[in-house]
Protein backbone atom coordinates (compact mmCIF):
# COMPACT_ATOMS: atom_id res chain seq x y z
CA UNK A 1 0.00 0.00 0.00
CA UNK A 2 1.34 3.44 -0.92
CA UNK A 3 1.98 5.86 1.89
CA UNK A 4 -0.14 8.91 1.21
CA UNK A 5 1.42 12.01 2.72
CA UNK A 6 -1.81 13.90 2.18
CA UNK A 7 -4.10 11.47 3.99
CA UNK A 8 -1.92 9.90 6.68
CA UNK A 9 -2.98 9.67 10.29
CA UNK A 10 -1.66 12.31 12.67
CA UNK A 11 1.97 11.66 13.55
CA UNK A 12 3.19 11.64 17.13
CA UNK A 13 5.40 14.47 18.30
CA UNK A 14 8.87 13.83 16.99
CA UNK A 15 11.26 12.01 19.26
CA UNK A 16 14.51 12.83 17.51
CA UNK A 17 17.68 12.81 19.56
CA UNK A 18 20.19 15.63 19.46
CA UNK A 19 22.46 13.77 17.03
CA UNK A 20 19.70 12.40 14.79
CA UNK A 21 20.32 13.09 11.12
CA UNK A 22 19.12 12.30 7.63
CA UNK A 23 21.84 11.22 5.20
CA UNK A 24 21.47 12.63 1.69
CA UNK A 25 23.41 12.26 -1.54
CA UNK A 26 23.08 14.41 -4.67
CA UNK A 27 25.57 13.92 -7.46
CA UNK A 28 25.21 16.84 -9.85
CA UNK A 29 23.90 20.43 -10.12
CA UNK A 30 20.36 19.36 -11.03
CA UNK A 31 20.20 17.08 -7.98
CA UNK A 32 21.58 19.85 -5.80
CA UNK A 33 18.79 22.12 -7.01
CA UNK A 34 16.09 19.48 -6.53
CA UNK A 35 17.31 18.59 -3.04
CA UNK A 36 17.52 22.17 -1.78
CA UNK A 37 13.74 22.68 -1.68
CA UNK A 38 13.32 19.37 0.13
CA UNK A 39 15.92 20.25 2.77
CA UNK A 40 14.24 23.60 3.28
CA UNK A 41 10.90 21.86 3.83
CA UNK A 42 12.51 19.49 6.33
CA UNK A 43 13.64 22.49 8.36
CA UNK A 44 10.08 23.84 8.33
CA UNK A 45 8.47 20.51 9.32
CA UNK A 46 7.34 20.26 12.96
CA UNK A 47 7.62 16.45 12.76
CA UNK A 48 11.29 16.76 11.78
CA UNK A 49 12.31 19.68 14.02
CA UNK A 50 15.99 19.42 14.89
CA UNK A 51 16.80 16.80 12.25
CA UNK A 52 20.25 17.44 10.80
CA UNK A 53 21.16 16.64 7.20
CA UNK A 54 24.56 15.56 5.94
CA UNK A 55 26.23 13.55 3.18
CA UNK A 56 27.18 14.55 -0.37
CA UNK A 57 25.74 17.67 -1.93
CA UNK A 58 26.33 21.00 -3.61
CA UNK A 59 26.16 24.71 -2.76
CA UNK A 60 22.36 25.02 -2.85
CA UNK A 61 22.04 22.20 -0.31
CA UNK A 62 24.79 23.69 1.86
CA UNK A 63 22.93 27.00 1.85
CA UNK A 64 20.05 25.28 3.70
CA UNK A 65 22.38 24.11 6.49
CA UNK A 66 23.33 20.77 4.93
CA UNK A 67 26.76 19.40 5.94
CA UNK A 68 28.64 18.29 2.84
CA UNK A 69 31.02 15.52 3.93
CA UNK A 70 32.31 15.17 0.34
CA UNK A 71 31.91 17.44 -2.71
CA UNK A 72 29.49 16.20 -5.34
CA UNK A 73 31.76 16.94 -8.34
CA UNK A 74 33.29 13.45 -8.27
CA UNK A 75 29.90 11.93 -9.03
CA UNK A 76 28.93 14.36 -11.83
CA UNK A 77 29.59 12.13 -14.84
CA UNK A 78 27.27 10.81 -17.53
CA UNK A 79 27.74 7.86 -19.84
CA UNK A 80 29.53 4.53 -19.61
CA UNK A 81 32.91 5.62 -20.95
CA UNK A 82 33.04 8.70 -18.73
CA UNK A 83 32.01 6.72 -15.64
CA UNK A 84 34.76 4.16 -16.22
CA UNK A 85 37.39 6.93 -16.15
CA UNK A 86 36.03 8.22 -12.84
CA UNK A 87 35.29 4.78 -11.37
CA UNK A 88 38.19 4.58 -8.88
CA UNK A 89 37.35 7.96 -7.37
CA UNK A 90 33.62 7.17 -7.30
CA UNK A 91 34.14 3.79 -5.62
CA UNK A 92 36.45 5.36 -3.06
CA UNK A 93 33.83 7.93 -2.10
CA UNK A 94 31.05 5.33 -2.03
CA UNK A 95 33.01 2.96 0.20
CA UNK A 96 33.93 5.78 2.58
CA UNK A 97 30.32 6.94 2.71
CA UNK A 98 28.94 3.47 3.45
CA UNK A 99 31.54 3.00 6.17
CA UNK A 100 30.68 6.35 7.75
CA UNK A 101 26.93 5.69 7.67
CA UNK A 102 27.42 2.20 9.09
CA UNK A 103 29.47 3.54 12.01
CA UNK A 104 27.05 6.44 12.62
CA UNK A 105 23.66 5.29 11.30
CA UNK A 106 21.25 7.98 10.08
CA UNK A 107 17.53 7.87 10.80
CA UNK A 108 17.08 7.32 7.08
CA UNK A 109 18.93 7.74 3.80
CA UNK A 110 17.61 9.98 1.01
CA UNK A 111 19.22 9.42 -2.38
CA UNK A 112 18.55 12.27 -4.80
CA UNK A 113 18.73 11.00 -8.40
CA UNK A 114 22.27 9.69 -9.29
CA UNK A 115 20.92 6.10 -9.41
CA UNK A 116 24.18 4.42 -10.43
CA UNK A 117 25.77 5.69 -7.22
CA UNK A 118 22.82 5.89 -4.85
CA UNK A 119 21.19 2.52 -5.51
CA UNK A 120 24.42 0.76 -4.55
CA UNK A 121 24.62 2.73 -1.32
CA UNK A 122 20.93 2.17 -0.62
CA UNK A 123 21.21 -1.59 -1.10
CA UNK A 124 23.92 -1.81 1.58
CA UNK A 125 22.03 0.44 3.98
CA UNK A 126 18.69 -1.29 3.50
CA UNK A 127 20.33 -4.64 4.25
CA UNK A 128 21.67 -3.08 7.44
CA UNK A 129 18.17 -1.99 8.50
CA UNK A 130 18.46 1.71 7.63
CA UNK A 131 15.32 2.98 5.83
CA UNK A 132 16.09 4.07 2.28
CA UNK A 133 14.18 6.66 0.28
CA UNK A 134 14.96 7.55 -3.33
CA UNK A 135 13.89 10.88 -4.78
CA UNK A 136 13.62 10.98 -8.58
CA UNK A 137 12.80 7.62 -10.08
CA UNK A 138 15.42 6.10 -12.38
CA UNK A 139 14.12 6.15 -15.94
CA UNK A 140 12.87 2.57 -15.91
CA UNK A 141 10.04 3.71 -18.20
CA UNK A 142 12.63 4.78 -20.81
CA UNK A 143 14.97 1.79 -20.55
CA UNK A 144 14.39 -1.94 -20.50
CA UNK A 145 12.79 -2.85 -17.21
CA UNK A 146 15.40 -5.21 -15.75
CA UNK A 147 16.44 -2.62 -13.16
CA UNK A 148 13.20 -2.88 -11.16
CA UNK A 149 14.42 -5.95 -9.23
CA UNK A 150 17.59 -4.13 -8.18
CA UNK A 151 15.56 -1.10 -7.16
CA UNK A 152 13.34 -3.27 -4.95
CA UNK A 153 16.44 -4.64 -3.21
CA UNK A 154 17.68 -1.10 -2.58
CA UNK A 155 14.73 1.22 -2.00
CA UNK A 156 12.07 1.16 0.72
CA UNK A 157 10.14 4.10 -0.70
CA UNK A 158 10.34 5.74 -4.13
CA UNK A 159 9.43 9.42 -4.50
CA UNK A 160 8.19 10.03 -8.05
CA UNK A 161 8.23 13.35 -9.88
CA UNK A 162 6.03 12.24 -12.77
CA UNK A 163 2.44 11.06 -12.20
CA UNK A 164 2.62 7.90 -14.33
CA UNK A 165 5.54 6.41 -12.37
CA UNK A 166 3.79 5.25 -9.19
CA UNK A 167 1.82 2.50 -10.94
CA UNK A 168 5.08 0.94 -12.16
CA UNK A 169 6.44 0.67 -8.62
CA UNK A 170 3.19 -0.44 -7.03
CA UNK A 171 3.01 -3.29 -9.54
CA UNK A 172 6.53 -4.33 -8.50
CA UNK A 173 5.64 -4.18 -4.78
CA UNK A 174 7.64 -1.02 -4.04
CA UNK A 175 6.05 1.78 -2.02
CA UNK A 176 5.87 4.94 -4.08
CA UNK A 177 4.45 8.45 -3.77
CA UNK A 178 3.94 11.05 -6.48
CA UNK A 179 5.30 14.34 -5.14
CA UNK A 180 5.33 16.49 -8.28
CA UNK A 181 8.39 18.24 -9.61
CA UNK A 182 10.11 20.95 -7.51
CA UNK A 183 10.76 23.05 -10.60
CA UNK A 184 7.03 23.34 -11.25
CA UNK A 185 6.61 25.23 -7.97
CA UNK A 186 9.62 27.48 -8.43
CA UNK A 187 8.83 28.63 -11.99
CA UNK A 188 5.88 30.99 -12.57
CA UNK A 189 3.09 29.84 -14.85
CA UNK A 190 3.50 33.00 -16.95
CA UNK A 191 7.15 34.05 -17.49
CA UNK A 192 8.20 37.70 -17.54
CA UNK A 193 10.34 37.45 -20.65
CA UNK A 194 10.50 41.21 -21.21
CA UNK A 195 11.67 41.81 -17.65
CA UNK A 196 14.28 39.06 -17.95
CA UNK A 197 15.54 40.52 -21.23
CA UNK A 198 15.87 43.91 -19.57
CA UNK A 199 18.02 42.37 -16.81
CA UNK A 200 20.32 40.97 -19.50
CA UNK A 201 20.41 44.26 -21.43
CA UNK A 202 18.99 42.69 -24.58
CA UNK A 203 18.28 45.29 -27.22
CA UNK A 204 14.56 45.91 -27.68
CA UNK A 205 13.21 44.02 -30.68
CA UNK A 206 16.09 41.55 -30.88
CA UNK A 207 15.46 37.81 -30.81
CA UNK A 208 17.28 36.01 -27.99
CA UNK A 209 18.59 32.45 -28.30
CA UNK A 210 19.60 30.70 -25.07
CA UNK A 211 22.29 28.07 -25.62
CA UNK A 212 22.83 25.48 -22.87
CA UNK A 213 25.52 22.91 -23.77
CA UNK A 214 25.36 21.01 -20.46
CA UNK A 215 26.54 21.03 -16.85
CA UNK A 216 29.39 18.51 -16.98
CA UNK A 217 32.89 18.87 -18.39
CA UNK A 218 32.37 15.85 -20.65
CA UNK A 219 29.24 17.48 -22.09
CA UNK A 220 31.02 20.76 -22.74
CA UNK A 221 33.85 18.92 -24.49
CA UNK A 222 31.55 16.89 -26.74
CA UNK A 223 28.57 19.19 -27.24
CA UNK A 224 30.02 22.68 -26.76
CA UNK A 225 31.95 23.01 -30.05
CA UNK A 226 28.91 22.07 -32.14
CA UNK A 227 26.67 24.45 -30.21
CA UNK A 228 29.07 27.36 -30.67
CA UNK A 229 29.39 26.55 -34.37
CA UNK A 230 25.57 26.57 -34.50
CA UNK A 231 25.62 30.08 -32.99
CA UNK A 232 27.87 31.15 -35.87
CA UNK A 233 25.47 29.61 -38.40
CA UNK A 234 22.47 31.38 -36.81
CA UNK A 235 24.34 34.67 -36.85
CA UNK A 236 25.25 34.23 -40.53
CA UNK A 237 21.59 33.62 -41.39
CA UNK A 238 20.17 36.44 -39.24
CA UNK A 239 23.05 38.96 -39.43
CA UNK A 240 21.22 41.52 -37.29
CA UNK A 241 18.43 41.45 -34.73
CA UNK A 242 19.62 38.38 -32.85
CA UNK A 243 21.56 37.89 -29.60
CA UNK A 244 22.80 34.82 -27.75
CA UNK A 245 23.11 33.97 -24.07
CA UNK A 246 25.12 31.06 -22.65
CA UNK A 247 24.78 30.36 -18.91
CA UNK A 248 27.89 28.64 -17.51
CA UNK A 249 26.60 25.98 -15.12
CA UNK A 250 29.62 25.82 -12.77
CA UNK A 251 32.87 27.78 -12.35
CA UNK A 252 34.85 24.70 -13.41
CA UNK A 253 33.31 24.91 -16.89
CA UNK A 254 34.14 28.57 -17.40
CA UNK A 255 37.63 28.24 -18.98
CA UNK A 256 36.46 25.86 -21.69
CA UNK A 257 33.36 27.90 -22.53
CA UNK A 258 35.30 31.18 -22.52
CA UNK A 259 37.81 29.65 -24.95
CA UNK A 260 35.00 28.62 -27.32
CA UNK A 261 33.40 32.06 -27.01
CA UNK A 262 36.71 33.80 -27.75
CA UNK A 263 37.24 31.71 -30.88
CA UNK A 264 33.68 32.42 -32.03
CA UNK A 265 33.99 36.17 -31.56
CA UNK A 266 37.35 36.27 -33.36
CA UNK A 267 35.76 34.61 -36.37
CA UNK A 268 32.48 36.58 -36.16
CA UNK A 269 33.13 39.85 -34.30
CA UNK A 270 29.59 41.11 -34.85
CA UNK A 271 27.95 38.42 -32.70
CA UNK A 272 26.32 39.69 -29.50
CA UNK A 273 27.06 36.96 -26.96
CA UNK A 274 26.27 37.09 -23.24
CA UNK A 275 28.12 34.63 -20.97
CA UNK A 276 26.48 34.27 -17.56
CA UNK A 277 27.82 32.80 -14.32
CA UNK A 278 25.03 30.32 -13.68
CA UNK A 279 21.69 32.13 -14.02
CA UNK A 280 20.26 29.47 -16.34
CA UNK A 281 16.74 30.29 -15.14
CA UNK A 282 17.16 33.95 -16.10
CA UNK A 283 18.49 32.98 -19.52
CA UNK A 284 15.57 30.61 -20.11
CA UNK A 285 12.97 33.11 -18.95
CA UNK A 286 14.39 35.76 -21.28
CA UNK A 287 14.86 33.52 -24.32
CA UNK A 288 12.66 33.38 -27.40
CA UNK A 289 14.05 29.96 -28.33
CA UNK A 290 16.47 27.52 -26.72
CA UNK A 291 19.20 25.19 -28.01
CA UNK A 292 19.80 22.76 -25.18
CA UNK A 293 21.58 19.55 -24.18
CA UNK A 294 19.30 16.70 -23.12
CA UNK A 295 18.79 16.48 -19.36
CA UNK A 296 16.84 18.06 -16.52
CA UNK A 297 17.35 21.50 -18.06
CA UNK A 298 15.01 20.54 -20.93
CA UNK A 299 12.15 20.23 -18.45
CA UNK A 300 13.08 23.59 -16.96
CA UNK A 301 12.94 25.11 -20.45
CA UNK A 302 9.50 23.54 -20.97
CA UNK A 303 8.24 24.98 -17.68
CA UNK A 304 9.45 28.40 -18.85
CA UNK A 305 7.24 27.66 -21.94
CA UNK A 306 10.13 27.97 -24.39
CA UNK A 307 10.35 26.46 -27.88
CA UNK A 308 13.52 24.42 -28.02
CA UNK A 309 15.78 22.07 -29.91
CA UNK A 310 17.22 19.21 -27.85
CA UNK A 311 20.59 17.72 -28.73
CA UNK A 312 23.11 15.34 -27.25
CA UNK A 313 26.40 13.65 -28.03
CA UNK A 314 28.20 10.87 -26.19
CA UNK A 315 31.20 8.71 -27.18
CA UNK A 316 30.39 6.15 -29.87
CA UNK A 317 30.57 3.15 -27.51
CA UNK A 318 28.23 4.82 -25.01
CA UNK A 319 25.80 5.65 -27.82
CA UNK A 320 25.81 2.04 -29.04
CA UNK A 321 25.05 0.68 -25.56
CA UNK A 322 22.32 3.25 -24.94
CA UNK A 323 20.68 2.55 -28.29
CA UNK A 324 20.50 -1.18 -27.54
CA UNK A 325 18.98 -0.59 -24.10
CA UNK A 326 16.44 2.12 -24.89
CA UNK A 327 12.90 1.32 -25.95
CA UNK A 328 11.44 4.83 -26.06
CA UNK A 329 12.06 6.84 -29.23
CA UNK A 330 12.62 10.05 -27.23
CA UNK A 331 15.44 11.26 -24.98
CA UNK A 332 14.16 14.74 -24.05
CA UNK A 333 11.91 15.01 -21.01
CA UNK A 334 9.34 17.26 -22.75
CA UNK A 335 8.87 14.63 -25.47
CA UNK A 336 8.79 11.77 -22.96
CA UNK A 337 6.07 13.50 -20.93
CA UNK A 338 4.10 14.38 -24.06
CA UNK A 339 4.65 10.87 -25.52
CA UNK A 340 5.40 12.44 -28.89
CA UNK A 341 8.00 14.61 -30.59
CA UNK A 342 6.68 18.05 -29.71
CA UNK A 343 10.22 19.48 -30.00
CA UNK A 344 13.05 18.34 -32.30
CA UNK A 345 15.82 16.04 -31.07
CA UNK A 346 19.12 16.05 -32.96
CA UNK A 347 21.49 13.44 -31.57
CA UNK A 348 24.99 12.18 -32.36
CA UNK A 349 25.83 12.53 -36.09
CA UNK A 350 22.55 14.37 -36.77
CA UNK A 351 23.65 17.22 -34.50
CA UNK A 352 25.57 19.16 -37.15
CA UNK A 353 25.94 22.93 -36.60
CA UNK A 354 23.84 23.66 -39.67
CA UNK A 355 21.04 21.29 -38.60
CA UNK A 356 21.03 22.72 -35.07
CA UNK A 357 20.90 26.28 -36.37
CA UNK A 358 18.13 25.57 -38.88
CA UNK A 359 15.94 23.74 -36.36
CA UNK A 360 16.42 26.47 -33.73
CA UNK A 361 15.65 29.37 -36.08
CA UNK A 362 12.65 27.45 -37.40
CA UNK A 363 10.79 28.26 -34.16
CA UNK A 364 11.36 31.99 -34.73
CA UNK A 365 9.97 31.69 -38.24
CA UNK A 366 6.80 29.85 -37.12
CA UNK A 367 5.21 31.83 -34.28
CA UNK A 368 1.88 29.98 -34.50
CA UNK A 369 3.58 26.62 -33.89
CA UNK A 370 5.54 28.18 -31.03
CA UNK A 371 2.29 29.47 -29.50
CA UNK A 372 0.69 26.00 -29.66
CA UNK A 373 3.77 24.50 -28.05
CA UNK A 374 3.54 27.00 -25.18
CA UNK A 375 -0.03 25.82 -24.56
CA UNK A 376 1.21 22.22 -24.30
CA UNK A 377 3.92 23.30 -21.90
CA UNK A 378 1.38 25.13 -19.74
CA UNK A 379 -0.68 21.92 -19.44
CA UNK A 380 2.50 20.01 -18.58
CA UNK A 381 3.37 22.59 -15.92
CA UNK A 382 -0.05 22.28 -14.30
CA UNK A 383 0.22 18.48 -14.11
CA UNK A 384 3.57 18.68 -12.29
CA UNK A 385 2.57 21.43 -9.84
CA UNK A 386 2.54 20.00 -6.30
CA UNK A 387 3.96 21.11 -2.91
CA UNK A 388 6.91 18.83 -3.56
CA UNK A 389 9.19 19.77 -0.69
CA UNK A 390 6.41 19.45 1.88
CA UNK A 391 5.25 16.10 0.47
CA UNK A 392 8.77 14.66 0.55
CA UNK A 393 9.27 15.92 4.11
CA UNK A 394 5.96 14.29 5.12
CA UNK A 395 7.02 10.91 3.74
CA UNK A 396 10.39 11.19 5.51
CA UNK A 397 8.61 12.07 8.77
CA UNK A 398 6.28 9.08 8.45
CA UNK A 399 9.20 6.73 7.88
CA UNK A 400 11.43 8.16 10.61
CA UNK A 401 8.64 8.33 13.20
CA UNK A 402 7.14 4.96 12.32
The domains of the chain, with CATH numbers, are 21-180+386-400 (3.40.50.2000), 193-384 (3.40.50.2000)
Distances in Å between the Cα of 234 and the Cα atoms of 186, 231, 286, 288, 351 are 31, 5, 18, 14, 14
Percent over 90 (pLDDT), the chain = 61
Average pLDDT of 106-120?
92
Average pLDDT of 46-55?
91
Indicate the helix (H) or strand (E) that contains 336: helix 333-338
Who has greater pLDDT, 195 or 91?
195
Q: What is the pLDDT of residues 269-300, one digit of tens each?
A: 999 999 999 899 999 999 999 999 988 899 99
Q: What is the pLDDT of residues 127-161, one digit of tens each?
A: 999 999 999 988 765 555 567 888 999 999 999 98
Average pLDDT of 104-114?
94
- Report pLDDT for 218: 84
Other CB atoms closer than 10 Å to residue 87's CB: what's the count? 11
- Report pLDDT for 223: 92
Highest mean pLDDT among 143-152, 161-170, 226-235: 226-235
- Report pLDDT for 96: 92
Residue 6: pLDDT band (50, 70, 90) is very low
Average pLDDT of 168-184?
90
- Report pLDDT for 7: 35
Residue 263: pLDDT band (50, 70, 90) is very high
Q: What is the pLDDT of residues 184-203, one digit of tens each?
A: 988 999 999 999 999 999 99
Question: Is pLDDT at 4 greater than 60 in this prediction?
Answer: no
Average pLDDT, the chain: 87
- Report pLDDT for 145: 58
- Report pLDDT for 92: 86
Question: Is pLDDT at 81 greater than 80 in this prediction?
Answer: no
- Report pLDDT for 9: 37
Average pLDDT of 243-267?
94
> How far is 143 from 313, CA to CA, in rounded Å?
18
Q: What is the pLDDT of residues 303-324, one digit of tens each?
A: 999 999 999 876 666 655 555 5
Q: Is 11 exposed, middle or buried (0-12, 13-18, 19+ CB in 10 A)?
A: middle
Average pLDDT of 219-242?
92
- Report pLDDT for 378: 97
Question: Is pLDDT at 87 greater than 90 in this prediction?
Answer: no
> How far is 32 from 365, CA to CA, in rounded Å?
36
Average pLDDT of 161-174?
88
- Report pLDDT for 74: 65
Question: Is pLDDT at 163 greater than 80 in this prediction?
Answer: yes
> How far is 62 from 122, CA to CA, in rounded Å?
22
- Report pLDDT for 321: 54
Distances in Å between the Cα of 208 and the Cα atoms of 217, 283, 369 are 25, 9, 18
- Report pLDDT for 193: 96
Who has greater pLDDT, 318 or 232?
232
3-state secondary structure of 307: coil
- Report pLDDT for 31: 85
The residue among 255, 351, 356 whose CA lies nearest residue 312 is 351
Who has greater pLDDT, 125 or 316?
125
Average pLDDT of 327-347?
84
Residue 158 makes CB contacts below 8 A (sequence gap 6+) with 133, 134, 137, 151, 165, 169, 174, 175, 176, 177
Amino acid sequence: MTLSPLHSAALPANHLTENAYLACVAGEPSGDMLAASVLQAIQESSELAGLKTRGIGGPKMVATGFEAMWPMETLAVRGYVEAIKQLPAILSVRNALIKELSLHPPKAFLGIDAPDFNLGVEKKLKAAGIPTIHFISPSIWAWRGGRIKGIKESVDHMLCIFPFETAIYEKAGIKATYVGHPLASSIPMVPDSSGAKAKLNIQTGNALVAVLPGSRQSEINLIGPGFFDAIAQMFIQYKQGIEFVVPVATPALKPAIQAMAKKLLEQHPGIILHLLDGQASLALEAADVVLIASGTATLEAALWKKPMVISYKVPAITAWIMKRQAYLPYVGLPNILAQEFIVPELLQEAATPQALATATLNWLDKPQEAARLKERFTEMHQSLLMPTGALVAKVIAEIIND
